[in-house]
């Protein structure tokens, strides 16, 4: 097991490197640059700026300088657009915010989603089941970029209960709406996966055997059915956790949380190369780590899987 984890972590290094190189080349292949604007800079001004950021060097030298900076000094470079900030600053400020509401959303989505799925499966083909299925379908059909403005219209404008955006150091009033908007569709997916998996397990042979043995219903569900029924959910949770703590562009956009998600999109549009690369490395590393964690949990849940 330990060997397996080490191996996976070691392969992560070339994976990240390839990711950085591809991302770097794609960014530079896109037309325009960080200093292209409606008002083109005079050539000598542009030359000074490019010299300052090393953009006048050949591409491979820029890539090399960047990699050396990251590996030796853990320095992800400066932002070309927000000139008072380095990429390290931007991530250090934005990531904790995203991590906070992402983790809360993840916990909420998992607990509520799993509970709803299990409950619906146990009450299969009753009104409880129909209600749960109906709710999950509507929740999935309502994307967060529709939900976010609606939440603000209701809770901020009409009711005046919650602030319409901001973060304020993460006070709970500021966290509620981002969490609702972010967790809903994940919650719905989890509930649907959980319900299907649970139904399948409940109809399997070993559960029938357990019932024939006369085991109490709660033992059957919690001791025997639950673990295998969680498997599909777990494989879904790994990537979705990463998506929740990083891919929250919409949340950052609508709720002005100051999270790191918005930088991802803005950096690409602004050709803010270093920010783009920094955020990509962060996402890549997180994806690798959480896929690994999902695989480890998988092994624990399924005795048939051994690494």
Residue numbers at the binding site for other proteins (CB under 8 A): 30-33, 35-42, 44-45, 48-49, 51-52, 81-85, 90, 93-94, 148-149, 152-153, 156-157, 160, 163-167, 252-254, 256-259, 262-263, 266, 269-271
Q: In angstroms, what is the minimal distance from the CB of 176 to other proteins? A: 15
Q: In angstroms, what is the minimal distance from the CB of 291 to other proteins? A: 28
**Is residue 255 classed exposed, middle or buried when 0-12, 13-18 and 19+ CB atoms within 10 A define those classes?**
buried
Q: In angstroms, what is the minimal distance from the CB of 172 to other proteins? A: 16
Q: Cβ closer to other proteins: 255 or 290?
A: 255
Q: Cβ closer to other proteins: 5 or 49?
A: 49
Q: Which residue matches tokens 């950085």?
A: 20
Report yes or no: 132 and 59 within 8 Å, Cβ to Cβ: no
Q: Cβ closer to other proteins: 23 or 294?
A: 23
Q: In angstroms, what is the minimal distance from the CB of 278 to other proteins? A: 14
Q: Using CA atoms, how far apart are residues 280 and 15, in angstroms rounded to an integer?
A: 12
Q: Using CA atoms, how far apart are residues 117 and 193, in angstroms rounded to an integer?
A: 7
Q: Using CA atoms, how far apart are residues 178 and 152, in angstroms rounded to an integer?
A: 10
Q: In angstroms, what is the minimal distance from the CB of 303 to other proteins? A: 46
For 43, half-sphere exposure in the C-beta direction (CA atoms, 13 angstrom radius) is 0
Angle between helix 261-270 and helix 87-122 axes, rounded to 10 deg:
130
Q: In angstroms, what is the minimal distance from the CB of 81 to other proteins? A: 6
**Concatenated DSSP letters of 14-70:** HHHHHHHHHHHHHHHHSSS-TT--SSPPPHHHHHHHHHHHTTTS-HHHHHHHHHHHH
* Token pair belonging to 286: 């997180």
Q: Cβ closer to other proteins: 232 or 258?
A: 258
Report yes or no: 129 and 123 within 8 Å, Cβ to Cβ: yes
Q: In angstroms, what is the minimal distance from the CB of 101 to other proteins? A: 13
Which residue(s) pair with 86 in the sheet?
Answer: 78
Q: Cβ closer to other proteins: 224 or 263?
A: 263
């Amino acid at each position: 097991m330990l060997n397996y984890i080490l191996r996976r972590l070691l392969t992560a290094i070339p994976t990240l490197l390839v990711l950085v190189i591809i991302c770097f080349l794609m960014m530079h292949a896109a037309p325009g640059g960080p200093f292209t604007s409606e008002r083109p800079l005079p050539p000598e001004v542009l030359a000074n700026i490019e010299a300052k950021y090393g953009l006048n060097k050949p591409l491979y030298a820029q890539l090399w300088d960047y990699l050396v900076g990251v590996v030796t000094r853990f320095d992800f470079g400066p932002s070309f657009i927000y000139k008072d900030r380095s990429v390290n600053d931007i991530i250090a400020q934005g990531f904790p915010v995203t991590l906070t509401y992402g983790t809360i959303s993840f916990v909420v989505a998992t607990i509520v989603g799993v509970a709803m799925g299990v409950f619906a499966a146990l009450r299969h083909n009753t009104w409880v089941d129909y209600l749960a299925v109906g709710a999950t379908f509507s929740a999935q059909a309502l994307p967060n970029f529709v939900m976010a403005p609606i939440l603000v219209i209701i809770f901020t404008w009409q009711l005046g209960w919650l602030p319409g955006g901001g973060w304020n150091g993460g006070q709970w009033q500021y966290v509620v709406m981002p969490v609702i908007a972010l967790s809903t569709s994940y919650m719905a997916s989890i509930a649907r996966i959980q319900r299907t998996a649970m139904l399948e397990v409940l109809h399997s042979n070993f559960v029938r055997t357990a019932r024939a043995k006369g085991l109490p219903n709660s033992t059957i569900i919690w001791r025997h059915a639950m673990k295998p029924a969680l498997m599909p959910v777990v494989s879904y949770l790994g990537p979705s956790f990463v998506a929740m703590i990083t891919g929250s562009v919409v949340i950052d956009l609508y709720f002005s949380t100051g999270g790191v998600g918005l930088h991802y999109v803005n950096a690409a549009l602004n050709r803010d190369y270093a920010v783009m690369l920094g955020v990509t490395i962060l996402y890549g590393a997180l994806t690798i780590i959480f896929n690994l964690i999902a695989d480890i949990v998988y092994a624990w849940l399924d005795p048939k899987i051994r690494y």
